[in-house]
């Protein structure tokens, strides 16, 4: 067996839908997008979701949780003709607005081009658009309030119950199963027990808390909506992303335990207020009843959770967070999952009579990329909470932008390659390392870009291979 659990070639192959129902477990962004792609190919899909229909229930209890949508998520939306429907709910962000104590905020643009923007989008609203579009095909039946409790990979059956333990049990047969049920996936657990392989579960010792900056009293935004706001404080940070209604989703990232600046220490309103007064006085001005808001919501945990066996022959496949869940600091988890769906659809199209081969090629293609972005996401936490105010980081960033301006076919910042291209993540890492080596050599003892020998830069950059075409 190969590293990715490849059984293709050993078992009879089939076309999708040949041997029973196509079932997708999990109607998050990835499961609903996958159902839509499969429906577009003319397949009938049964989509199961443990939670109530988010289009009819206020799941987040008034809290609007948003995330950053970038090119890897946008390309599949365009592919499906859905981008025009999504566009009105997007808030473009052109860069990081860095808030330092006692200083005016400064904008660090994400790139050189007018299109180098990422978009804040409500997780619920985007998911709702995908569910609507999947249902509108007439090929997708969505069943809410059913949690997958057991997967029998031999009998090819799934057992579901409602939210309560004593709810009626529903048993469902499948021919092909897609596990899109998130980081704590029941399908992944079943595959793991069956296939073995390396299971990675690395909790981060930092967690998060979501808060809300409400709209200004007369309506509108209290701070600039077209930037991703960061209050970097070395070991921890706060970020804020705008919603179209005028509010901002604010996230505090902080060590879970240990020092007095940890979630463990913030157990009383007084401790929370003292902490924010000291570290984030500007935020105290923006969030009325901050301590109430703090204790209203849960403290979230973060982890990298992944496996290297994503499929069981041509019968079952993991996609999205179920296959590889990463920490959120590059704003890529959902983008990675949406891009994976697009690539899976391509392999399914290329191998219409050999689903096992399509799954194998998908896993071989995506696993190195999932590992690469998982690592970059952790690295980006350090960059966001500390790097963005480090003089050496800022000098290299300025030089990198200058080189990108001069040699646009050879140099692209890592951030831009991740967010604004569909280049393989693993390739991004390789190029980034080569570029960093050049920047290190050029910067040497320099303290500003005008001290850098740009003729030498041209010679060094010349050694790099041209940037590949993407999408």
Ligand X SMILES: Cc1cc2nc3c(=O)[nH]c(=O)nc-3n(C[C@H](O)[C@H](O)[C@H](O)COP(=O)(O)OP(=O)(O)OC[C@H]3O[C@@H](n4cnc5c(N)ncnc54)[C@H](O)[C@@H]3O)c2cc1C
Identity of the residue, 337 or 416, whose beta carbon is nearer to ligand X in the bound complex? 337
Alpha-carbon distance 54 to 125, whole Å?
9
> What is the smallest separation between the CB atom of 70 and ligand X, expressed in angstroms?
7
The site for ligand X (CB under 6 A) is made up of: 25-31, 48-51, 67-68, 147-148, 180-182, 186, 208, 251, 300, 320-322, 328, 331-335, 337
Nearest 5°: phi and psi at 319? -140, 150
Q: Is the CB of 262 or the CB of 332 nearer to ligand X? A: 332
Nearer to ligand X by C-beta: 251 or 435? 251
CB 212 within 8 A of CB 175: no
Instruction: State how far the Cα of 349 lies from the Cα of 144, in Å rounded to an integer.
Output: 29
Min CB(198)–ligand X separation in Å: 20
State how far the Cα of 205 lies from the Cα of 81, in Å rounded to an integer.
Answer: 41
For residue 455 the two structure tokens come to 């003729």
Q: Which residue number, 382 or 446, has a Cβ lying nearer to ligand X?
A: 382
Whole-angstrom Cα distance, residue 139 to residue 372?
35
Task: Report the residue number, 7 or 178, with the smaller CB distance to ligand X.
Answer: 178
C-alpha to C-alpha distance for 327 and 72, rounded to whole angstroms: 17
Q: Which secondary structure element, helix H or strand E, spans residue 228, and what is its range?
A: strand 228-232
* Cβ-proximal residue to ligand X, closest one: 28
* Helix, strand and coil in the chain, % to nearest 5: 40, 20, 40
Give the Cα separation of 238 and 250 in Å (integer). 7
* Token duo for residue 391: 């003089």
Query: Residues 229, 282: contact at Cβ < 8 Å?
Result: no
Torsion sign across C-alpha atoms 26, 29, 34, 36: positive
The three state secondary structure string of 250-310 is EEEEEECCCCCCCHHHCCCHHHHHHHHHHHCHHHHHHCCCHHHHHHHCCEEEEEEEEECCC
Nearest distance in Å: CB 21, ligand X:
16
Give residues with Cβ within 8 angstroms of 369, minimum separation 6: 336, 424, 425, 426
C-alpha dist (Å) from residue 4 to 12, 190, 196, 357: 18, 16, 11, 12
Comparison of 14 and 366: residue with beta carbon closer to ligand X: 366
Q: Please say which residue, 83 or 407, places its beta carbon nearer to ligand X.
A: 83
Q: How far is the CB of 109 from ligand X (least distance, A)?
A: 18
Tell me how far, at minimum, the Cβ of 53 lies from ligand X, in Å. 11
Q: How far is CA 164 from the centre of its chain?
A: 30
Comparing CB distances to ligand X, the nearer of 8 and 334 is 334
- Other beta carbons within 10 angstroms of residue 156's beta carbon come to 19
What is the C-alpha separation between 163 and 146, in angstroms, rounded? 7
The nearest distance, CB 346 to ligand X, in angstroms, is 19
58/285 with CB nearer ligand X: 58
Name the residue nearer to ligand X (CB basis): 208 or 275: 208
Token pair for residue 395?
Answer: 């000098």
Please report how close the Cβ of residue 92 comes to ligand X at its closest, in angstroms. 14
Residue 186 or 367: which CB sits closer to ligand X? 186
3-class state of residue 108 by DSSP: strand
Query: Which lies closer to ligand X via its Cβ, residue 131 or residue 439?
Result: 131
Closest CA to 294 of 100, 120, 58, 63: 63
As measured in angstroms, the least distance from the Cβ of 259 to ligand X is 22
The residue written with tokens 């079943």 in the block is: 190
The set of residues, in sequence order, having a beta carbon less than 8 Å from that of 392 and lying 6+ positions away, is 443
User: CB of 347: closest distance to ligand X in angstroms?
Assistant: 18
The residue assigned the tokens 């060094």 is 460
Shortest distance (Å) from residue 69 CB to ligand X = 7
Backbone phi, psi, residue 81, to 5°: 70, 25
């Amino acid at each position: 067996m190969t590293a990715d659990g490849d059984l293709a070639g050993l078992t009879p192959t089939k076309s999708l839908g040949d041997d029973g129902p196509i079932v997708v477990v999990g109607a998050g962004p990835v499961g609903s997008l996958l159902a839509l792609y499969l429906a577009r190919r003319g397949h009938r899909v049964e989509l199961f979701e443990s939670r109530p229909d988010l289009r009819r229930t206020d799941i987040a209890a008034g809290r609007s949780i948003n995330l950053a949508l970038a090119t890897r998520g946008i390309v599949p939306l365009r592919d499906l003709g859905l981008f025009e429907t999504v566009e009105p709910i997007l808030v473009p962000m052109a860069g990081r607005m860095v808030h330092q104590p006692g200083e005016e905020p400064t904008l660090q643009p994400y790139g050189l081009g007018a299109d180098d923007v990422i978009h804040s989008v409500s997780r619920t609203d985007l998911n709702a658009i995908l569910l609507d579009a999947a249902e509108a095909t007439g090929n997708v039946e969505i069943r809410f309030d059913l949690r997958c409790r057991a997967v029998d990979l031999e009998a090819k059956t799934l057992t579901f119950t409602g939210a309560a333990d004593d709810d009626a049990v529903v048993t469902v047969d499948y021919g092909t199963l897609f596990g899109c049920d998130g980081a704590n996936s029941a399908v992944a657990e079943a595959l793991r027990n069956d296939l073995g392989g390396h299971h990675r579960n690395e909790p981060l010792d930092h967690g998060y808390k979501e808060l809300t900056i409400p709209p200004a009293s007369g309506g509108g935004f209290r701070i600039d909506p077209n930037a991703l706001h960061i209050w970097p404080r070395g070991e921890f940070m706060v970020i804020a992303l705008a919603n179209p209604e005028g509010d901002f989703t604010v996230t505090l990232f902080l060590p879970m335990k240990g020092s007095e600046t940890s979630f463990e220490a913030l157990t009383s309103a007084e401790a929370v207020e003292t902490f924010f007064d000291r570290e984030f006085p500007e935020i105290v001005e923006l969030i009325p009843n901050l301590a109430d808001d703090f204790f209203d919501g849960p403290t979230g945990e973060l982890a990298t959770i992944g496996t290297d066996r994503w499929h069981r022959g041509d019968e079952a496949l993991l996609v999205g967070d179920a296959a590889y869940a990463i920490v959120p600091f590059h704003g890529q988890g959902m983008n990675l999952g949406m891009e994976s769906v697009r690539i899976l659809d391509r392999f399914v199209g290329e191998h219409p009579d050999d689903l096992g081969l399509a799954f194998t090629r998908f896993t071989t293609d995506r696993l190195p990329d999932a590992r690469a972005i998982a690592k970059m996401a952790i690295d980006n936490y350090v960059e966001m909470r500390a790097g963005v105010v480090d003089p050496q980081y800022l000098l290299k960033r300025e030089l990198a932008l200058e080189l990108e301006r001069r040699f646009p076919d050879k140099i692209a910042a890592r951030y831009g390659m991740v967010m604004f291209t569909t280049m393989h993540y693993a390739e991004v890492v390789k190029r980034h390392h080569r570029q960093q080596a050049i920047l290190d050599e050029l910067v040497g003892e320099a303290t500003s870009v005008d001290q850098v020998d740009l003729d030498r830069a041209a010679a060094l950059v010349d050694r790099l291979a041209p940037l590949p075409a993407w999408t």
